[in-house]
């Protein structure tokens, strides 16, 4: 297809860095349909050649993050031979740092994912977020680093998991006017509580789309304006009572909302 953008992600590790970059770049070309092919854990010349040949066949563009110097050089040379655009987003930065500071890189693939203490803390935080998602166990609120409150469809769960990837233990609670707020919430330091809100029209549309995805009638009480307004008013009154920070997620990405939370908590946004 003429409007297909075939991006080949080649890495000697997982390839998450290259994939994130590829998605960010593809977003600049909304008229093209981006398709991603991942070739992770490339450790041999044969596997690398196979990936580059596949890119040639599909008229693709390669984005690679090869930490193993020999493989990076092979990718550069072979891609030029067969006429495949191959962007190395790793080696130039490594070489610049090496030259500037007279330090040799380790050349170890996937060093950023080294199984150190921080890695296992992250796994524990993710497990915590899953265990205490949607207020499953109120005791989680007292153990959490951050407690997220919000009505349905204000991004509580995805935000919890995103923050868990920053090694933070996050519990969240869906707010429903008819349901009693657990007593544990009032025992949590208000600085740890984040109240999520949104614009009524945005929330109504999110809920309509959710019903459509489930094959249900989108025009029901769940997405009705009166219901949405009642829920948002209830949530805002609770936030005022708790004295917690409130964030409107209507036109913010998960990353933007997380950055505001980290800044509020006095944590490094760029970590």
Binding residue positions for ADP: 150-157
Tokens 């191959």 sit on residue: 86
Query: Residue 34 half-sphere exposure, CB side, CA atoms within 13 Å?
Result: 19
Q: Which residues are annotated as a binding site?
A: 150-157
Q: Are 194 and 148 contacting, i.e. CB atoms less than 8 angstroms apart?
A: yes
- Distance CA(140)–CA(128), nearest Å, equals 8
User: Cα angle vertex 21, ends 261, 86, to 5°?
Assistant: 165
For residues 24 and 19, give the distance between their C-alpha atoms in angstroms, rounded to a whole number: 9
- Burial (Cβ within 10 Å: 0-12, 13-18, ≥19) of residue 168: buried
DSSP state of 180: P
Burial class (CB in 10 A: 0-12, 13-18, 19+), 238: middle
């Amino acid at each position: 297809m003429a409007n297909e953008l075939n991006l080949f992600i080649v890495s000697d590790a997982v390839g998450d860095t290259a994939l994130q970059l590829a998605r960010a770049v593809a977003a600049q070309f909304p008229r093209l349909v981006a398709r991603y092919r991942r070739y992770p854990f490339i450790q041999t010349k044969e596997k690398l050649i196979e990936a580059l040949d596949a890119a040639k066949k599909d008229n693709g563009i390669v984005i690679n993050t090869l930490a193993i110097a020999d493989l990076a050089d092979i990718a550069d040379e072979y891609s030029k031979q067969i006429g495949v655009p191959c962007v190395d987003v790793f080696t130039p930065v490594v070489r610049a740092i090496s030259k500037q500071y007279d330090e040799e890189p380790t050349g170890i693939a996937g060093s950023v994912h080294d199984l150190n203490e921080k890695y296992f803390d992250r796994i524990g935080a993710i497990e915590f977020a899953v265990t205490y998602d949607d207020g499953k166990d109120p005791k989680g609120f007292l153990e959490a680093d951050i407690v997220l409150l919000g009505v349905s469809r204000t991004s509580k769960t995805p935000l919890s998991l995103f923050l868990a990837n920053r090694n933070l233990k996050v519990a969240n609670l869906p707010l429903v006017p008819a349901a009693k707020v657990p007593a544990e919430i009032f025992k949590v330091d208000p600085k740890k509580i984040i109240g999520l809100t949104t614009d009524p029209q945005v929330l109504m549309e999110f809920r309509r789309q959710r019903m459509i995805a489930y094959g249900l009638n989108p025009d029901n009480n769940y997405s009705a304006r009166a219901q949405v307004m009642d829920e948002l008013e209830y949530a805002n009154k609770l936030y005022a009572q708790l004295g917690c920070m409130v964030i409107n997620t209507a036109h913010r990405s998960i990353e933007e909302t997380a950055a505001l939370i980290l800044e509020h908590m006095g944590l490094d946004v760029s970590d």
